[in-house]
Amino acid sequence: MPAPAPRLLTPLIAGACLALLAGCGGSSGSGGGSGSHDNDASQSPASASVIPVVASTNVYGDIAERIGGGKVQVTSIISDPDQDPHSYEANTQNQLALSKAKVVIENGGGYDDFIDRMLKSGDSSAAVINAVKVSGKTAPAGGELNEHVWYDFPTVAGLADRIATALAKADPADAATFTRNAKGFADKLKPLEQKEARIKADHGGEQVAITEPVPLYMLQAAGLKNATPEEFSEAIEEGDDVSARTLQETLALFSGKKVKALVYNEQTSGPQTEKAEQAAKAAKIPVVPVTETLPHGKDYLGWMTANVDALASALAK
């Protein structure tokens, strides 16, 4: 679901600092495993043929690199696996990178609204790709949208095509290369979907618990049911306190062995999620850690393969 106002990624620093974009603001994260130039707006493309691309997170930055190869220079704004992306504070260095971009990849759905705000405040003609719009997903009746669409492999395959199209418009001479790379990337997603299908065949209908909605698309594709009280996962995602009653209902999932695994977002842990983790371990229920951005040293395909394999292993115990 979209992060609420208190946790929305904050707007860039305004005023006099904006007049000195090139000199104001510093690096706001560490490099991810994709090898992209994370948060390095000061670098210029090696040649006129290199397309500057800005991605809101290193998840999308890595995908852009797989498709663009040596023809792109990627800046991934959020790249620290130890940081909660919802609390990221945009800065003028990000604004500078966006002002130079030919292609911008954002998640959308309220996840990274700072991208749109900065694009509107600047003078950008970049092609903007919104992953949630590519997914076609909408909020369920009476509910809210789960914006974590990078855990949905069909969406990511569609996103790869859109990135290839945008890069081809920026560099028509290499259009065939981008199309070929996007197809190759999408082909490598198919084994992940097959792994999900095998989990569904073996464990479809079994219940699991989560701390946040981050992995829900993966769990749904695997045929698993989320047994977590909605009030718990919503409160954790929004940074609110969980009521004592809701916490007890959640902990009872483990003490009563009502779930086969706990899928735990490591990037937003706190006292209440730690209690859930401790309860799961005490009941000898496997804990499957997940993150919202790429861990150091991982690319998207390797990261998601590890996630799906960890889930399958946990359910087999």
Phi, psi of 100 (to 5 degrees): -95, -10
pLDDT, mean of residues 214-221:
98
- Which pLDDT does position 257 carry in this prediction? 96
User: Per residue in 57-79, pLDDT tens?
Assistant: 999 999 999 999 999 999 999 98
Percent of the chain with pLDDT over 90: 74
pLDDT, mean of residues 149-175:
98
pTM: 0.85
CB burial of residue 227 (10 Å; 0-12, 13-18, 19+): middle
User: Per residue in 260-296, pLDDT tens?
Assistant: 999 999 988 899 999 999 999 999 999 999 999 999 8
Q: Let me know: does 190 contact 162? Beta carbons within 8 Å.
A: no
Q: Let me know: does 148 contact 218? Beta carbons within 8 Å.
A: no
The yes/no answer on whether domain 5-190 falls in CATH 3.40.50.1980 is yes
Q: Taking each helix axis as running N to C, give the angle between helix 230-238 and helix 244-255, from 0 to 180 degrees, rounded to the nearest 10.
A: 120
Q: Which fold has domain 191-316?
A: Rossmann fold (3.40.50)
Q: Let me know: does 75 contact 91? Beta carbons within 8 Å.
A: no
Given this chain, do its domains 5-190 and 191-316 carry the same CATH topology? yes
Angle at 282 between CA 281 and CA 283, to 5 degrees: 90
The residue ranges of every structural domain in the chain are 5-190, 191-316
